[in-house]
Structure 1
Amino acid sequence: MRTRTRPLSALVAALALLLAGCTGDGDRDPGGPVTLRFQSLAWQEESVEVNKALVKEWNADHPDVKVEYVQGSWDSIHDQLLTSFEGGEAPDIIHDASDDLADFAYGGYLADLTDLLPERIKSEIPQRSWETTTFGDGVYGVPFLQEPRVLVANADWLKRAGVRIPTPEHPWSWAEFREITERLSGHGRYGVAWPLKEPVSATLNLSLSAGGQLFHRGADGKVTIRFGTGDQVVPRTIHDQANTDGSASPTTLGSGGSDTLPGFFGGRYAMVPLGFSYRQQIAQQAPKGFDWQVLPAPAGADGLAQGVSPQTLSIAADSPHQREAAEFIDFLLRPKNMVRLALGDWMLPTGTEALKDPALHTSEHDWATGTALAGHLRPAPAQSVRGYPEWKDKVATPAFQEYYSGAIGLGELRERLERDGNLVLARYQR
């Protein structure tokens, strides 16, 4: 049987169609503009509006490089990205958090931005922020928004109690904080409500103030876990408030931040440790006449040092238009635009020029208190640790939850974090 030979031109055309199908929306059509997909995780109304407005402004000025806004969700971002990377459908520009990037960076899914970013943006953002997105010899995200954890307090309650009001210049120590919460408690009311549904990042990040490190990298580059004296200050404070002093509500330990607000507004808790961005919900939901204020988190041996995992912008390694994607990121993070993004999310920008903006230094909603903490923010302890997500989910979260509830003691907590944790990390460091 004779086989009919296809003309070479037909084979070339078929191959072109196949390649077009594989590369997706990022390719430029003949005579048409480049289309970049920007997946944003903005969720608050103000933040979504700002992001969409900036995309619209870019598109108006760049007819040859169009950006398509894609809405993502914080709730499912890791699994969604993993699926899209493996399926070749990842967006060109990716909004995420720095503590979610390590496995994607080491896995080759993200582009190294070292030679893609302009000098302006490199110098605008401090080195300590760049450390949160540096893995090995490459930079795999631009850190642009960050938030300290603060104490949101019932101002009237603290005033009536006559306690010393802390400031960034004169914060409470962890011991003083414990004493004050005990003083504020009684008759079914609590000095503090810790929302620790996800206890790991809050505990580790606040522990930097007491000199906590937890993760230790050896000369061979391998990371091991040691739960030392500095690591124990914050967990012991929370545990003792909830289980010894009766100054922390035991019912909120498994709650999210928003879950504590009705009790806070209702006069059940004097203070709630929350991320700085929660001020938006409080400002919108607080009853008329409710007087609240933002206080710095307690300080330890290392002062107000606190770990953060900034929000980031990355570029997919498979994006056919990495240079154009980097230009869009540069536009999005110009100082004035970074301020707009920060105000929309009620967070702090990482850029030094953006942090100087007067809008971030007002007394309204205590913006000035948060901005005063920016210089104390450090990379979260787990930033570059491979296997951290698995360690957090399988080892640390249940261990901390049981410790805070009083089900296990400090010794058992230490053993589980170190013994079980090091077994997990070892699998990622062979």
Structure 2
Amino acid sequence: MKKIILSLALSGLLLSCNKSNDTTQKKTLVITSNSHAQEPSSIALQEIIDEYTKSNPEIKIDFIPGSSDYEETMKTKMATNSLPDIFATHGWSINRYKEYLEPLNDREWAQYVSPAIKPVITDTNEKFYVLPLDVDIVGLPYNLDVLEKAGVDPKTIKTTDDFLVALEKVKNIGVTPIYLGGKDSASIGNIYDWIAPGLIILTNDNPQGENLKNGIFDEKAWNITGEFIKTLKDNGYINRDALTGNDAARALGTGKAAFLFFGTSMIREGLTYNPDARMDFIALPTKERDQKSYFITGERLALGAWKDSPNKKEALDFLDYLAKPENISKMATANVLPTGLTNAKSDLGKFESSYDLGDKYQYVGFFDREYLPSGAWETLCSIGAGIISGQLTVEEASKKMKEDFDKLKNK
């Protein structure tokens, strides 16, 4: 009897040990994203994760969607070298996160990286560090119903002078030409980010691109950007509640505004307020007519693997799974953007032709990511708000920009 009891006890102990070993052997990956929980891309990514863990029960994945302080959180994690196994680089895979990421050139899917995104995510050694799920292509969203009423053909807007003429015509029919949402300061920063290339980079007269990349900030040249924002304000081309409003998608969709300095996702959101609205986007204008108008391209949702992750092999395996054409298609379709890999295709719906851009345009990266040091985005937002509120002159805004530029470039 004692032998039987001892045998049962040993069996239970072994079973307990086996269960313990099963638990310890299960790998847990942490994935973070800059997309908020309710965004279509977060929902799509969670669905892909669920499918992956079904087929790979030895892997557990904790997906943490983004929040408003995602950037600050990631800075803290970089400082302590305690990053997630996989994380979204929100446009900074090279200039901020490169030293923390595993190079991905040797992955099987690397051959399919889209030429529209490859220059943005590739360093001077021809290495890249993220899987681009889509390609962020930024133009100027507009409401065609408003523009037709104002007698404006959006396709004829090639220069900043053309743009200002169009804004005046919209103002004359009693509609707000540009809606800015100050509660989301991004739209104010976006004016700089989107217009600066056409004013001081893609220009025949004193282009500033190389200067900025070499750490040289010319206040006089920068004044051109501030003067443009002041012109918008002084001529009544922006909504009166630009520093407090938060209704951009509704304003565009319902015809209360003609243009937005927000991403093209606002078009999709605007349709929820008015499904019959005719909305699209155009290339951004340049100062000089002999320069092609341009689109901004960059990372919308790109994920990389932390090079020091204790689960690096598993992280890379998941990225390979995510890179399957059907998964890339699902992620890019969620953001209504072209795919980051050429062996996949997204469903762009009514915007299919809008993204068929061809070579008649120029393509540039996001201005703050290409030409300004990390952290300068907040300065763009604050000096833009200062000009709009009247608290800063153009010259004072340029001085503040130079001070922060010089301080941040040395960090």
Tell me, yes or no, whether TM beats 0.5. Answer: yes
Hey, what's the Cα distance between the residues in 1 that align with 2:102 and 2:371?
A: 18
Distance 1:228 1:348 in 2: 38
User: When the two structures are aligned, how many residues end up with a matched partner?
Assistant: 377
Report the secondary structure of 2:51's partner residue. Answer: helix
TM-aligned CA distance change 1:353 to 1:371, over 3 Å: farther
Matched, 1:181 2:164: no
Does structure 1 residue 369 correspond to structure 2 residue 362? no
Distance 2:24 2:405 in 1: 55
CA contact (8 A) 2:383 2:401 kept: yes
Shift of 1:74: 3.7
Identify if the C-alpha distance between structure 1 residues 400 and 273 changes in structure 2 by more than 3 Å, giving closer, same or farther.
closer
Report if aligned partners of 2:29, 2:61 keep a CA contact under 8 Å in 1: yes
Q: 1:48 aligns with which of 21, 42, 59?
A: 42
Distance 1:204 1:232, change over 3 A: farther
Aligned ranges 1:16-415 → 2 under 5 Å: 32-43=25-36, 44-64=38-58, 66-85=59-78, 90-99=83-92, 102-106=95-99, 110-114=100-104, 117-126=106-115, 129-132=118-121, 134=123, 139-166=128-155, 171-186=157-172, 189-195=175-181, 197-198=185-186, 199-212=188-201, 216=210, 222-227=214-219, 229=221, 235-243=226-234, 245-253=235-243, 255=245, 259-284=247-272, 286-287=273-274, 289=276, 291-300=277-286, 301=288, 302-310=291-299, 311-354=301-344, 357=345, 359-360=347-348, 362=349, 364=350, 366-372=351-357, 376-383=362-369, 387-389=373-375, 391-393=376-378, 395-415=379-399
- Inter-partner Cα distance in structure 1 for 2:57 and 2:226: 54
Q: Name the aligned partner's letter for residue 259 of structure 2.
A: M
Letter paired with 2:64: Q
2:46 alignment partner AA: K
Structure 1 range deviating more: 144-153 or 122-131: 122-131
Gaps in structure 1 of 5+ consecutive residues: 1-27
Give the superposition deviation at 1:281.
Answer: 1.5
User: Could you say if the C-alpha distance between residues 249 and 118 of structure 1 is closer, same or farther in structure 2, counting changes exceeding 3 Å?
Assistant: same
Q: Partner amino acid for 2:141?
A: V
- Tell me: CA distance 1:228–1:195, structure 2 relative to 1, closer, same or farther (3 Å): farther
Aligned residue in 2 for 1:22? none
Deviates more, 1:84-93 or 1:131-140: 131-140
TM-score by length of 1: 0.74
1: distance between equivalents of 2:151 and 2:194?
30
Question: Does structure 2 conserve the Cα–Cα contact (< 8 Å) formed by 1:342 and 1:349?
Answer: yes
Aligned mates of 1:112, 1:122 — CA distance in 2: 17
Deviations 1:109-167 (A, max 9, x none): x233146x41532542327535346388864433333333333333322222332231x
Q: What is the CA distance between 1:239 and its match in structure 2?
A: 2.3
- Deviation string, structure 1 residues 36-57 (Cα, Å, up to 9, x no partner): 2222344345323321221123
Q: Cα gap change, 1:127/1:324 in structure 2, threshold over 3 Å: closer, same or farther?
A: farther
Match of 2:7 in 1: none
> What letter is aligned with 1:369?
S
CA contact (8 A) 1:214 1:228 kept: no
SS in 2 for 1:35: strand
Alpha-carbon distance between aligned partners in 2 of 1:298 and 1:155, rounded to the nearest angstrom:
16
The code of the aligned residue for 1:47 comes to S
CA RMSD of aligned residues (A): 3.5
Q: Judge conservation of contact 1:174–1:234 (CA < 8 Å) in 2.
A: no
Question: 1:165 and 1:104 mapped to 2: Cα distance?
Answer: 38
Q: Structure 1 vs Structure 2: percent identity of aligned residues?
A: 15
Structure-2 change in CA distance of 1:368 and 1:401 (3 Å): same
Q: Are the equivalent residues in 1 in contact too, given 2:44–2:330 (CA < 8 A)?
A: yes
Give the partner amino acid of 1:283: L
Which SS does the other structure have where 2:262 is aligned?
Answer: strand
**Separation of aligned partners in 1, 2:328 and 2:410:** 39
Q: 2:177, 2:97 → 1: CA distance?
A: 41
SS of the aligned residue for 1:383 comes to helix
* C-alpha contact 2:144 2:279 (8 A) present in aligned 1: yes
CA distance in 2, matches of 1:227, 1:145: 36
Residue 8 of structure 2 corresponds to which residue in structure 1? none
Give the deviation of 1:93 after TM superposition: 0.8
TM-score (norm 2): 0.77
Check 1:98–1:267 CA distance in 2 against 1; reply closer, same or farther (3 A cut).
closer
Q: Deviations over 1:239-295 (max 9, x none)?
A: 21221x222224225545xx22344445432222320122332222x1354x23112
CA distance 1:216–1:336, shift in 2 (3 Å)? same
- Note if contact 1:39-1:94 (Cα within 8 Å) is conserved in structure 2: yes
Q: Deviations over 1:74-112 (max 9, x none)?
A: 412122234445566532111230237634445xxx233
Q: Secondary structure at the match of 1:271?
A: strand
Deviation at 1:183, TM superposition (A): 1.0
After TM superposition, give the deviation of residue 171 of structure 1 in Å: 4.5
The CA deviation at 1:386 is 8.1
- Native 8 Å contact 2:152 2:166 kept in 1: yes
- Letter paired with 1:304: S
Alignment partners' CA distance in 1, 2:108 and 2:172: 56
Q: 1:325 Cα shift?
A: 1.4
